[in-house]
Chains A and B, each alone.
Chain A
Amino acid sequence: MSGSNVWSRSRERLRVFPELLSQCAGEAAVYGKCVAASTTGKQELKKDLCAKEFEVLKTCFTNAARKRIR
């Protein structure tokens, strides 16, 4: 397959993933801590337990992605 196609564009997006995530290190840490706490604490890990923290992370990530495209 030559030229740009959905697979090469997909791979390119994934390639910049770590760079974008590094711009949201704080938000990622907060989310990570929330999930980690559930593995040791009394609360069992279930869906959307850390939804608030994840939304913050996702917003940061999406903004970083948008900034990069410009």
Chain B
Amino acid sequence: MDRLGLGLQVLQTYREMKKRQKNWAAVLQDGHQYDYLRDEVGSRVADRVYDIARTFPLALDIGGGKSHIAEHLTKNVVERLFLTDISQQTLKVQRQSDIPTQRVLADEEFLPFRENTFDLVLSSLTLHWINDLPGGLRQIHQVLKPDGVFIGAMVGGETLYELRCSLQLAEMEREGGFSPHVSPYTAVTDLGNLLGQAGFTMLTVDIDDVQVYYPGIMEVMTDLQGMGESNCAWNRRSMLHRDTMLAAAAIYKGQYCMSCGPSAL
């Protein structure tokens, strides 16, 4: 019982930390400059909604943030929208949309909705922070009506491998060991299984590559922070040593620099 209690406490701190990071990111003066990824993926998710020739009377966007999907949809496709997010500050910063939207402060892991409520559930770039993904997917399945649709875009696969590798090599060379700085992601194959186990049928799982080029590792990390996507794994180190940061920056530039001449290699 003790270990279970401690485990839950750790997970709560983890979600609490994520909430604080997102609140911080939401009130940044120039926060909109970090929206590019969510905007791009949001529009792609909206495309998938249009692919389904249906009108959805009631939809739910979980972890919707500033609402990056609804701005691409019309009232013909979605008549009414509920949008949840764990961060109150983010909910205050809402984009304009045709669709009447109700904002709800809620954790994706504890959806405050009755079963068989929604015709459509959307999720863009939020599921990767859910502790219990099978549970989360089951909840989504529960709040959906029997013929409901779930369309989600999730970070996975090889995302941020340049960042992860650079940090890993740098920590290895400078400190003799390494700790996790980038969360492990769900593999595409596992995702199919998880969706099936949660009760979904007629699955389609595919991979969309979004490549973003950065001048260096610091810019990657700054942008991630601005997106509210900083590390908050329970087993993360609380600091990054100065020397390791310098080493990682040099390794990143050397390995992954696109515009460097052959002399840099």
Q: How many angstroms from the CA of A25 to the CA of B254 in the assembled complex?
A: 9
Dominant secondary structure at the B interface:
helix
CB contacts between A and B, total, < 8 Å = 78
Q: Are B246 and A32 in contact (CB under 8 A)?
A: no
Which of A18, A33, A39, A46: most chain B CB closer than 10 A?
A: A18
1/0 per residue, CB under 8 A from B, across A45-66: the answer is 1111110001001100100000
Contacts of A26-44 to chain B: CB distance below 8 A: 27-29, 31-33, 35-36, 38-39
Q: Are A32 and B218 in contact (CB under 8 A)?
A: no
Q: Give chain A nearest CB distance to B260 CB in angstroms.
A: 8
Which of A18, A29, A57 is B216 in contact with, Cβ under 8 Å?
A: A18
Q: How many angstroms from the CA of A27 to the CA of B246 in the assembled complex?
A: 11
A residues in contact with B215, CB < 8 Å: 18
Q: Are A32 and B175 in contact (CB under 8 A)?
A: no
Q: Are A32 and B172 in contact (CB under 8 A)?
A: no
Q: Give chain A nearest CB distance to B175 CB in angstroms.
A: 7
Which of B170, B243, B253 is A58 in contact with, Cβ under 8 Å?
A: B243
B residues in contact with A21, CB < 8 Å: 216, 218, 246, 249-250, 253
A residues in contact with B243, CB < 8 Å: 54, 58
B264 within 8 A of A: yes
Q: Are A57 and B250 in contact (CB under 8 A)?
A: yes
Q: How many angstroms from the CA of A61 to the CA of B265 in the assembled complex?
A: 20
Which of A17, A29, A39, A54 is B247 in contact with, Cβ under 8 Å?
A: A54
Q: How many angstroms from the CA of A57 to the CA of B172 in the assembled complex?
A: 17
Q: Are A32 and B251 in contact (CB under 8 A)?
A: yes
A residues in contact with B133, CB < 8 Å: none
Closest chain A residue to B221, Cβ basis: A14
Q: Are A18 and B173 in contact (CB under 8 A)?
A: no
- Interface, chain A (partner B; CB < 8 A): 14, 17-18, 21, 25, 27-29, 31-33, 35-36, 38-39, 45-50, 54, 57-58, 61
A-B contact pairs, 8 of them (CB 8 A): A18-B216, A21-B249, A29-B263, A35-B247, A35-B251, A46-B172, A46-B173, A61-B246
- Interface, chain B (partner A; CB < 8 A): 169-170, 172-176, 215-216, 218-219, 222, 243, 245-247, 249-251, 253-255, 263-265
